[in-house]
C-alpha cells in the first residue's frame, strides 16, 4: 500500500512543482501565502471563514471531494503542498480566483486582489445606482431582502459578527 501512496504523493507533488516552475522549496510557501491572503481578504470583507466551514462548503459544492479543515490548515501553514487539481479548482471557484492565482509564481497578489475588489465594488455600485430615488420604505425592504440573502449564505448581517470564526 505504501507504494500506492508514494506514487500519489509523487504525482501530486509533481503537479505543484510543474505549476510553480519546478521550485520545490517555494511550492508549499507559495500556496500557503496565497490561501492565507484569500482567507484574509474574506475576513476584511466581513466574511471570515474557518478551515472547517470552508471544507464543508467545498464538499457540498463538489460531491466526492475529500477535504477537511485539518488538511486546509496544513496547506495554509505549509505543512502540505500537494493538493489534487480537483481541490485546487474547488478552492479557486470558492474564492472566485483563477487556479493560477493559487499556484503560479510571479503573479502580483496585491494587484490581482485589488482588481477583484474593484470588480465586486462595481457590482455593488451598480446595485446602489438602481436604488437611487427609491423611497424610505422601498429602501428598508431592499435592506431586509439583502439581510435575508446574507443569512441564507451564512454571512453576517450588518452589525453582527460572523459565527465562530476561529474553528
pLDDT digits (tens, 9 = 90+) for 52-73: 999 999 999 999 999 999 999 9
pLDDT at 126: 82
Residue carrying C-alpha cell 424610505: 136
Give the mean pLDDT of 143-164.
Answer: 77
What pLDDT digit, counting tens, does each position of 79-98 carry? 887 899 999 999 999 988 88
| Cell numbers representing residue 94 in the block | 470558492
Instruction: Please answer whether residues 21 and 105 qualify as being in contact, where contact means their C-beta atoms are separated by less than 8 angstroms.
Output: yes
What 3-state class would DSSP assign to 64? coil
The DSSP output letter for 155 is P
Q: Which CATH architecture group holds 1-105?
A: Orthogonal Bundle (1.10)
What pLDDT digit, counting tens, does each position of 104-129 carry? 776 555 666 666 667 677 777 788 88
For the chain, which residues make up each domain, given as ranges?
1-105, 108-158
Amino acid at each position: 500500500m505504501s507504494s500506492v501512496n508514494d506514487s500519489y504523493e509523487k504525482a501530486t507533488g509533481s503537479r505543484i512543482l510543474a505549476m510553480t516552475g519546478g521550485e520545490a522549496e517555494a511550492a508549499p510557501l507559495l500556496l500557503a501565502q496565497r490561501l492565507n491572503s484569500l482567507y484574509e481578504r474574506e475576513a476584511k470583507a466581513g466574511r471570515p471563514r474557518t478551515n472547517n466551514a470552508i471544507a464543508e462548503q467545498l464538499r457540498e459544492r463538489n460531491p466526492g471531494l475529500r477535504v477537511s479543515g485539518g488538511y486546509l490548515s496544513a496547506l495554509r501553514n505549509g505543512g502540505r503542498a500537494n493538493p489534487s487539481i480537483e481541490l485546487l479548482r474547488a478552492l479557486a471557484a470558492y474564492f472566485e480566483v483563477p487556479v493560477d492565482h493559487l499556484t503560479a509564481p510571479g503573479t502580483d497578489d496585491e494587484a490581482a486582489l485589488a482588481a477583484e475588489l474593484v470588480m465586486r465594488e462595481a457590482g455593488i455600485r451598480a446595485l446602489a445606482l438602481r436604488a437611487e430615488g427609491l423611497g424610505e420604505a422601498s429602501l428598508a425592504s431592499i435592506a431586509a431582502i439583502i439581510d435575508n440573502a446574507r443569512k441564507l449564505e451564512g454571512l453576517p448581517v450588518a452589525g453582527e459578527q460572523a459565527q465562530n470564526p476561529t474553528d
